[in-house]
Amino acid sequence: MTPMRRSAIILIAGALLQVTAAVAQIPPGTTPLSPPLPPPPPPPKIEVPKIPKMDELPSGNYVKRSTGNKSFGDRVTKCLDDGAAAGLDPNERSHYSRNCANR
């Protein structure tokens, strides 16, 4: 092999290696002519929660329940009475009163 031919083969082999290295950097499913991907979204904003002070009363937007001022025990008693008036046996009344009082 002549030195000229050997250098031409080395030059062609080097060019092929550069092309394959460049092709390996293209993500699969895209072409070199496709537009670039959009930038990633910004990271979420991290805020420090407000820490309540020792001498400060808690403030909040409390919603008044529609059941009025009745306690849970009052609601259970009323539901048990309703179940008895409807003619339910004790097992059915306990199931009914649990569901009724939690509404």
Q: Kindly report, residue by residue over 42-91, the tens digit of the pLDDT.
A: 999 999 888 878 887 777 666 665 556 688 888 899 999 999 999 999 88
Q: What is the pTM of this model?
A: 0.34
| Choice between 2 and 22, residue whose per-residue pLDDT is larger | 2
Kindly compute the dihedral angle of the four CA atoms of residues 5, 7, 9, 10, in this order, to the nearest 10 degrees. 170
Q: Is the Cα torsion angle 82, 86, 89, 92 positive or negative in sign?
A: negative
Residue 52 CB contacts under 8 Å (≥ 6 apart), including other chains: 58
| DSSP secondary structure letter of residue 56 | S
Residue 30 and residue 27: Cα distance in Å, rounded?
Answer: 6
Residue at 56: amino acid letter: E
> Is residue 87 left, alpha or beta, with left meaning phi > 0 and alpha meaning psi from -120 to 50?
left
